[in-house]
Structure 1
Amino acid sequence: MTALKLQKTKSLKTKILFRLVIPLIVFVVVDTVLSYFVTVHYVDQAYDRWLLDSARSLGQEIKIKHNKIVVELPPEALEIIKWDEQDETYFKIVSSEGETLAGDPQVPEPLTAPIDWSRQVYFNATLYGEPVRIVSMRIRFLDNPGQVFIHVAETLNKRRAMMMDILLADLIPQLVFVIVTAMYLLSGLKRGLQPLHTLADHIAGRPSRDLSPIPESHVFLEVRTLTDTINALLAQLTLAIATQQRFIANAAHQLRTPLAGLKIQAERALREQDIAAMQPALMQVQSSADRMSHLTAQLLVLARSEPISGGHELRIVDLCALAKTTCMDWVPKALQNKMELSFDGQEDSLWVQGDEVLLRELLANLLDNALTYGRPQGSVVVSLEASPDICLSVTDNGPGIPDTELAKVSERFYRIPGSPGNGCGLGLAIVKEIADLHNAQLTLSGTEGTCVRLLFTGGRQAWKMPKNNTSKPS
């Protein structure tokens, strides 16, 4: 398994090095191929001139005597033509009738027909098992209608040696350049990637509880994106841990009182022998249990409404239908409190982007507060408006909230002094958390009764659809 993981591990240094060195190698290969053909061309050009000079020297030895073509080759001239330390030179002089006047009859002649004899002809062939380069030319005479063809062949040893010398002279410096460049790039990559290793060692050496941002003083600009992402993740993790610790502290603090009361009342009930004497203690036990159940539910909703919790997914929700069904669920409590609960809104669907469970919990908390703290036998109105932006409001005709307390009531576990009921001070705090999660504007007013308004803004966050259109927006 370890070997398999090592095989799948990719090295940034190796990848960069290959991407830089491979183009250099390809360049050297292409340059070598081009250099080969260029070298062959110019080497052939140079030695073809020498070969042509030999053919012309033979042409000077051809004479016309008694109206007959005669080839006079003294041994000295023949030795000069054939002398070469590296190559063998062969020639053949042929008349227009095909008669060999001098030289080696085995020397090949050009096979391509027709041949343009107005200029010399060069071609490659094989003679005595060796490759040769041949030049053929025609000689015509002014005072004789006859013509002579001269063919001079030479082996390719000098040409090959010169081509090899030129190619090596061109290729060796390029290979040295590639090797030196690769070594320099490897060294540069090691130095360039050293800050990454330093950063990795710094992160690996940090304590597990150290969630402070990574310092960026010695980080390259190209790596800044990575460190910024890690720092953002560390910030989110810090916030998540702080939220969790705050939730634990709040839960421990708020649950301690009802649990202590529950224990005391249970001990009181155990000391009594008469069932009638136990009833007050049992009623207190029930009250404490109810308060603890309500507090636990509120704490869980508060934890779920935290933006960092990630337990929500914003989707398209019909706010009008949600408000109607929630109001219907709270009608029994309104009747129990002898209060009037009404809904004032249009019949058309109003679509918002949000979490249906949290929005239902938001409205439930507002209704709970209105029915609990509103005027006895009063009224609670839930209204929904669609112009210019979607606005949800809950209004009661109770005593209201003093202006000095408006900024405090949305704080966690804060209750207005002298407030009735057994609330835990989390209702409006939950409403504020859910409103912030939905980017909705929350306003409170308490001059005549209490009015809580929730304004959904943000462009495409809210949609309005006709009543008959049952399809949701995409």
Structure 2
Amino acid sequence: MNKSKSLRTQLLSKLSLPLLVVVMLDAAGSYYVATYFTNQAYDRWLLDSAKSLLQEVKIKQDRVTFELPPIAAEVFRWDDMDETFYKVESQQTGFMAGDDGLPSPAMSGLNENKPYFFDGRIDDRPVRVASVLTVPESGGDRVLVSVAETVNKRRGMTGELLLAVMLPQILLVLITGFHIWTGVNRGLSPLNDLAGMIARRSARDFDPIPDADVPLEVRSLTHTINALLQRLGSTLITQRRFIENAAHQLRTPLAGLKIQAERALSADSPDSMRQALEHIKNASNRLARLNTQLLVLARSDSISRNAPEFRLLDLTRLARECCMDWVPRALELKVELSFDAPATAVEIYGDGIVLRELLGNLLDNAVNYGKAGGHIGVTVESAPHVRLIVEDDGPGIPVGEQEKIFERFYRIPGSPGEGCGLGLAIVKEIADLHAARIEIHSGLPAQIGTRVEICFAEP
């Protein structure tokens, strides 16, 4: 399971990691510099010591000799921290004096009077060695003088140099870390203030969050939150209006049901009771229809709020099946219902349930508000683009009312029937859900009635 990290932790880690890398690189560089200059200083002393021993190399009777008085050797070896070694050897004679166990380079690889420095070991102790090769002025045997010492002083001086260099750097790192910590906290304080401001708000307060003193980086967040608050406020107002309108629409048929039920209970003849029961049946049908429409609206709202999972549908088949369901109603009202569509499938992406409700509401409007004994035509077209057309030969919709009819619970003044004004609002919701365009024109060729076209986008 993924564990979320705080923004403070992420910022501190991303700011501290480069600082840590720089400190490590600087420490490595400081160690290299301290070691280099320490070796330079003590290598000069070794070289001077080797050159001093070279002064004691003499040629007597064509032989190379080396004579160092014991007191001089004792003075040469004395050191309060390190132990000093030396070795004198010639190319012909070999070892002449000093410490035979001291490592020395091969003479063949050395240049005359040019010093050679290297690290070695003697008695399992690390030493630093300086070697000088020389040839006496009279020529002859080559002599190699090597001087070595243990590395205690070198390590001590390297540590002192590192301490002198690293102490200010450690102090600088601590100061920098403190400023990074305080800087991150100060940078996040507007977010904390914003969170506190939102937490203190009432659940009904959708006023915009003031952002006059908010940093630019946080202002985009406040703008997004304000836009969300505005949408939530609009949604809440819409829902409240919808609930109020729905309650108002439900109240009338419920009141009618109650009155007719009381009438049926008090009826003294079967005919009176039958008449009351017919009214109860009609009111129940209206309630059932209203309930169905409210459920469709809720479903379309739910789909629009979430990512719609549409599938490929055959609009021809869907429209044909829906028209077949309306044939009994059309026969009952003596209305001619026709259907025309291409022989091949006309495919769109959509939700079959709500699309059936869309066509059902269009047919319901055509049946209820069309011409008595008239004609209703349903057409599916595939070219030049996919269209679903429902037309009738009724009185039509006035031009001034064509924009208002898609509002919820709106009915054209003087309209016959007992509709609740949700049918075309549902049609508009479902069309918008499918990114379809609604067009209203005059109806059949006589230029009367209503022609509603639903124009779908390409699948």
TM range (shorter): 0.7 to 0.9
Q: Distance in 2 between matches of 1:296 and 1:92?
A: 112
Matching residue of 1:372: 368
Q: Distance in 2 between matches of 1:150 and 1:277?
A: 140
Matching residue of 2:30: 35
2:343 counterpart of 1:347: yes
Q: Decide which moves more: 354-363 or 29-38.
A: 29-38
Matching residue of 2:432: 436
CA deviation vs aligned residue, 1:341-360 (integer Å, no higher than 9, x gap): 11122222222232222221
CA contact (8 A) 2:392 2:450 kept: yes
Unaligned ranges ≥5, structure 2: none
Q: Percent identity?
A: 48
Matching residue of 1:467: none
Which amino acid counterpart does residue 358 of structure 1 have in structure 2? V
Which amino acid counterpart does residue 317 of structure 1 have in structure 2? L
Matching residue of 2:300: 305
2:232 counterpart of 1:237: yes
Change (3 A) 1:381 1:44: same
Change (3 A) 1:158 1:342: same
Dislocated runs of 4+, deviation >6 Å: none
Q: Distance in 2 between matches of 1:437 and 1:60?
A: 105
Q: 2:57 aligns with which of 47, 55, 62?
A: 62
Matching residue of 1:17: 12
Change (3 A) 1:404 1:15: closer
CA contact (8 A) 1:95 1:148 kept: yes
1:377-396 correspondence to structure 2 within 5 Å: 377-396=373-392
Q: Distance in 1 between matches of 2:4 and 2:359?
A: 53
The structural deviation recorded for 1:8 is 5.1
CA deviation vs aligned residue, 1:13-64 (integer Å, no higher than 9, x gap): 2332222223222222232223323432332233222212221122223222
Unaligned ranges ≥5, structure 1: 464-474
SS of the residue aligned with 1:387? coil
The structural deviation recorded for 1:85 is 5.1
The structural deviation recorded for 1:380 is 1.0
Matching residue of 2:147: 152
Q: 2:119 aligns with which of 118, 124, 143?
A: 124
1:451-466 correspondence to structure 2 within 5 Å: 451-456=450-455, 461-463=457-459
Change (3 A) 1:20 1:52: same
Q: Distance in 2 between matches of 1:428 and 1:449?
A: 19
SS of the residue aligned with 2:418? coil
Number of aligned residues: 454
CA deviation vs aligned residue, 1:59-79 (integer Å, no higher than 9, x gap): 223222343434354678657
Matching residue of 1:397: 393
Q: Distance in 1 between matches of 2:237 and 2:415?
A: 31
The structural deviation recorded for 1:406 is 3.2
2:169 counterpart of 1:177: no
CA contact (8 A) 1:440 1:454 kept: no
Structure 2 length as normaliser, TM-score? 0.87
The structural deviation recorded for 1:267 is 1.4
Q: Distance in 2 between matches of 1:150 and 1:132?
A: 16
CA deviation vs aligned residue, 1:293-312 (integer Å, no higher than 9, x gap): 22222333334334786476
Q: 1:361 aligns with which of 348, 357, 369?
A: 357
Q: 2:241 aligns with which of 242, 246, 260?
A: 246
Matching residue of 1:468: none
Matching residue of 1:208: 203
2:206 counterpart of 1:196: no
Which amino acid counterpart does residue 450 of structure 1 have in structure 2? G
Which amino acid counterpart does residue 47 of structure 2 have in structure 1? L
Which amino acid counterpart does residue 110 of structure 1 have in structure 2? S
1:127-146 correspondence to structure 2 within 5 Å: 127=122, 130-143=125-138, 145-146=140-141
CA deviation vs aligned residue, 1:255-289 (integer Å, no higher than 9, x gap): 11111122112212222232233222222222222
Change (3 A) 1:209 1:65: same
The structural deviation recorded for 1:382 is 1.1
Structure 1 length as normaliser, TM-score? 0.85
Change (3 A) 1:413 1:112: same
SS of the residue aligned with 2:328? helix
Change (3 A) 1:443 1:101: closer
Change (3 A) 1:227 1:349: farther
Q: Decide which moves more: 260-269 or 448-457.
A: 448-457
The structural deviation recorded for 1:381 is 1.0
Q: Decide which moves more: 81-90 or 441-450.
A: 81-90
1:395-434 correspondence to structure 2 within 5 Å: 395-434=391-430
SS of the residue aligned with 1:209? coil
Change (3 A) 1:398 1:65: closer
2:162 counterpart of 1:163: no
Q: Distance in 1 between matches of 2:16 and 2:412?
A: 75
Q: Distance in 2 between matches of 1:410 and 1:147?
A: 114
Q: Decide which moves more: 366-375 or 22-31.
A: 22-31
Change (3 A) 1:411 1:8: closer
Matching residue of 1:314: 310
CA contact (8 A) 2:440 2:453 kept: no
